[in-house]
Amino acid sequence: EAGVAQSPRYKIIEKRQSVAFWCNPISGHATLYWYQQILGQGPKLLIQFQNNGVVDDSQLPKDRFSAERLKGVDSTLKIQPAKLEDSAVYLCASSLALAGAYNEQFFGPGTRLTVL
Protein backbone atom coordinates (compact mmCIF):
# COMPACT_ATOMS: atom_id res chain seq x y z
CA GLU A 1 0.00 0.00 0.00
CA ALA A 2 1.39 3.38 -0.99
CA GLY A 3 2.03 5.84 1.83
CA VAL A 4 1.36 9.54 2.06
CA ALA A 5 3.11 11.37 -0.76
CA GLN A 6 4.38 14.93 -0.55
CA SER A 7 6.15 17.24 -2.95
CA PRO A 8 8.47 18.95 -3.22
CA ARG A 9 10.78 17.49 -0.60
CA TYR A 10 12.82 20.66 -0.32
CA LYS A 11 12.14 24.28 -1.17
CA ILE A 12 14.21 27.41 -0.74
CA ILE A 13 12.61 30.80 -1.29
CA GLU A 14 13.19 34.40 -0.32
CA LYS A 15 10.94 36.18 2.12
CA ARG A 16 7.79 37.68 0.65
CA GLN A 17 7.71 35.06 -2.10
CA SER A 18 4.92 32.50 -2.43
CA VAL A 19 5.19 28.74 -2.14
CA ALA A 20 2.85 25.77 -2.42
CA PHE A 21 3.10 22.23 -1.10
CA TRP A 22 1.19 19.22 -2.34
CA CYS A 23 -0.01 16.14 -0.48
CA ASN A 24 -1.60 12.92 -1.70
CA PRO A 25 -2.99 10.89 1.23
CA ILE A 26 -3.33 7.14 1.48
CA SER A 27 -6.13 5.91 -0.75
CA GLY A 28 -9.45 5.82 1.08
CA HIS A 29 -8.36 8.04 3.97
CA ALA A 30 -11.04 10.61 4.65
CA THR A 31 -9.09 12.79 7.06
CA LEU A 32 -6.05 14.84 6.07
CA TYR A 33 -3.82 16.91 8.33
CA TRP A 34 -1.13 19.52 7.73
CA TYR A 35 1.42 19.98 10.50
CA GLN A 36 4.23 22.51 10.83
CA GLN A 37 7.42 21.31 12.53
CA ILE A 38 9.91 24.02 13.43
CA LEU A 39 13.45 22.81 14.07
CA GLY A 40 13.80 21.40 17.57
CA GLN A 41 10.06 21.24 18.21
CA GLY A 42 7.26 18.76 17.84
CA PRO A 43 4.80 19.03 14.97
CA LYS A 44 1.94 21.48 15.41
CA LEU A 45 -1.38 21.08 13.59
CA LEU A 46 -2.13 23.81 11.06
CA ILE A 47 -5.30 22.52 9.45
CA GLN A 48 -7.40 19.37 9.33
CA PHE A 49 -9.81 18.26 6.62
CA GLN A 50 -12.58 15.69 6.73
CA ASN A 51 -13.16 14.84 3.07
CA ASN A 52 -13.18 18.32 1.50
CA GLY A 53 -14.41 20.22 4.55
CA VAL A 54 -12.28 22.00 7.15
CA VAL A 55 -12.56 20.53 10.65
CA ASP A 56 -9.95 22.57 12.49
CA ASP A 57 -7.91 25.52 11.26
CA SER A 58 -7.60 27.32 14.58
CA GLN A 59 -3.80 27.46 14.41
CA LEU A 60 -3.48 28.37 10.74
CA PRO A 61 -2.13 31.93 10.21
CA LYS A 62 -4.90 32.81 7.83
CA ASP A 63 -3.41 36.12 6.76
CA ARG A 64 -0.71 34.26 4.86
CA PHE A 65 -1.52 30.54 4.86
CA SER A 66 -4.27 28.84 2.91
CA ALA A 67 -5.12 25.23 2.18
CA GLU A 68 -7.63 23.37 0.11
CA ARG A 69 -8.77 19.85 -0.57
CA LEU A 70 -11.23 20.41 -3.36
CA LYS A 71 -12.11 16.86 -4.36
CA GLY A 72 -11.56 15.31 -0.96
CA VAL A 73 -8.34 13.61 -2.01
CA ASP A 74 -5.21 15.68 -2.74
CA SER A 75 -4.47 18.81 -0.78
CA THR A 76 -2.42 21.94 -1.33
CA LEU A 77 -0.99 24.21 1.35
CA LYS A 78 0.08 27.70 0.28
CA ILE A 79 2.05 30.44 1.96
CA GLN A 80 1.80 33.95 0.54
CA PRO A 81 3.89 35.93 1.38
CA ALA A 82 6.45 33.86 3.26
CA LYS A 83 8.26 35.12 6.34
CA LEU A 84 11.57 33.99 7.82
CA GLU A 85 9.75 32.29 10.70
CA ASP A 86 7.92 30.02 8.23
CA SER A 87 11.13 28.02 7.78
CA ALA A 88 10.10 24.56 8.93
CA VAL A 89 9.17 21.08 7.79
CA TYR A 90 5.58 20.80 6.64
CA LEU A 91 4.17 17.37 7.29
CA CYS A 92 1.06 15.92 5.76
CA ALA A 93 -0.75 13.05 7.45
CA SER A 94 -3.89 11.09 6.75
CA SER A 95 -6.17 8.79 8.68
CA LEU A 96 -9.02 6.49 7.81
CA ALA A 97 -11.53 8.31 9.98
CA LEU A 98 -11.92 11.40 12.09
CA ALA A 99 -12.14 9.83 15.52
CA GLY A 100 -12.12 6.56 17.33
CA ALA A 101 -9.82 3.61 17.09
CA TYR A 102 -9.19 4.08 13.39
CA ASN A 103 -7.80 7.53 13.79
CA GLU A 104 -4.19 6.43 13.52
CA GLN A 105 -2.36 9.03 11.48
CA PHE A 106 0.17 8.10 8.83
CA PHE A 107 2.73 10.74 7.95
CA GLY A 108 4.41 11.68 4.71
CA PRO A 109 8.13 12.48 4.38
CA GLY A 110 7.52 16.21 4.71
CA THR A 111 8.59 19.29 2.77
CA ARG A 112 11.52 21.20 4.23
CA LEU A 113 11.04 24.92 3.59
CA THR A 114 13.85 27.42 4.00
CA VAL A 115 12.97 31.11 3.79
CA LEU A 116 15.95 33.41 3.22
Partner 1 sequence: AQKVTQAQTEISVVEKEDVTLDCVYETRDTTYYLFWYKQPPSGELVFLIRRNSFDEQNEISGRYSWNFQKSTSSFNFTITASQVVDSAVYFCALRSTSNTGKLIFGQGTTLQVKP
Binding site for partner 1 (CB under 8 A): 31, 33, 40-45, 48, 55-56, 89, 91, 93, 95, 98-100, 103-110, 112
Question: Nearer to partner 1 by C-beta: 24 or 48?
Answer: 48
Half-sphere exposure of 29 (CA within 13 A, CB side): 29
Query: Side by side, which strands form the sheet with 19-24?
Result: 5-7, 19-24, 75-79, 65-68
Question: Nearer to partner 1 by C-beta: 8 or 16?
Answer: 8
Beta bridge partners of 11: 113
For residues 50 and 79, what is the distance between their CA atoms, to the nearest angstrom? 21
Minimum separation from the CB atom of position 63 to partner 1 (A) = 21
Minimum separation from the CB atom of position 81 to partner 1 (A) = 25
